[in-house]
Chains A and B, each alone.
Chain A
């Protein structure tokens, strides 16, 4: 049970909250109490129901049953505007900012009534200095880094003097140093009496920051605790019902032939909001897993497209796959060289949402698995292949005829991984392999990647989750502002050091005034 600070009525009390969507009960009988000035964590793995609960509190959606008490009074939160009137502010995981407008205009949109932009800019500067969240009201949002955008989101909330601030997975876009700064801000707010609901699945952060925690599992509350008194293992057990699975890493095989070589890869992004790649060098050998860490928005998308062939380069030699200069080859041609790729977006890119798994197997495996004969589809073989993926990778949810969009995130990711891995690639590139995936499936996927490496494949993993990279990689590098650090053996690297590199400050990086300033602000 949570202990409350002096004032009698809790700031927020949820009783028996239930939310049903077609085919799934997202929240089932949730009780939650937050006292004034308390930092309260809502902990749970992906799919446990945290986001749904927050949407209910913030008025984006309504509960199917249950009630909400705000400062002792029962309320129905009609919509986000009403929530703001009550004093609830929310900083979303995926920011709700408008790229083509300035910071001041973005903030103005969230405030009711007409606002004088000059007066507002003054207030923005005042709040941002006070809480250590530097933002420039005149800049257009699309020019801001991800960390800066989050600060805009927070400042936008703070200007409305919230009494409850909801932070939804705030640290997935921050370097470890920036996380520390954020925690200082949050502690300051709590000391002034603002309650904070902190949504996360990162056990270390919760133990460092939060006074109390409610743990969700499968849509229900599986426990309350005081994080400071728990160990990561005990919290994990509440979160997933058993101990955190570990991967059998095994020793690096190393020394194999070079399967991917980036030789001075430079590419200007044709997206005006994109990041230019500048002189990237990297070798990935057979039998090793190389990881690239980095906060999102530093060139990962552009790098992936340059490797996969979705973006063709001006020259052929900057990207070499299995010894062949591939810069000008199409995605299909690169697959024929032995490349397989698991993209970050499952629905809409890795798989076609409305098509069944049988057809989604055809998407990339048609040529390599002989599923096409004389231009015609070999239906029987396609089905056999899809069923093999499902069986080997423990994909649950309806069999080969189920539409991709009907599968859970974890199961669909297992299918896509399976499809790519069963093609026995020479080089596998995986982006955010376990994003949004439940813990069980995540462990399965990571082990599958390690097993693949043990069979002699070269693997490149690009991820924003440092823990994941440290768990599976043999060597690690960092991408920042379109530049790549030299890789480091995983045994010699530490999270703090890598965190520093994520701001662009690795030894040998050209001293770049904006980068240093960014690091100071990050």
Chain B
């Protein structure tokens, strides 16, 4: 029996991969998130685009440059954008700076949505929320490129007239969620962000208003009906020092809670640390915030 049990345990532990990664630790300038305002608009509409650029304290960053991707992704590629946009052959310059104003390409719904350019062509597929997206590239110095997806309002694909009318009446374009003030606590007691004892573990709570997790109309092409879904919320956490328990937390679609907890251990050497939080809803809406945490002896 001992032999049997050890053998089974060996099978169970045999296959663990040998790589790990700490993505939440910011050691060099990088883009963490991009927010479009409004979060969803018709192609051709002007929107503001803001990048959350993270860098260790005392590090300067340059201004990012922006460009729209105008190449459709072939079915043979598995990334979120076409390889042509990772190169420079299919980009449309949009501006330069931490925040820019730019109009999305007016043909976005035919490039990345259900409106096909040529008769008989296969339309793009929506995501799980029914949305279509215009890829937007942001370049910051020599770092690897960053892409985000800007939600665009397009007509439904292959819907009956009745379903399309119902959807048009019920659908409200997405709004960005809103992060409320971060709360830190230790042993149930609130801790000031600028007076965290060195080396201790504090609980961080990020929260958002109930309205941030919106309900929205969803067209189900299988049944040709319009139903209602609720956004899920995802939080990404980053820090310049210390140790975060999780790099990502969140709430599922059916989870009504409006907060999410993480833990942070202050560095034993003390000093200031930068913390960044990015809140994303499942329809592409984004909010972000940064905080300075100070560990004291």
Do A and B pair up? The answer is: no
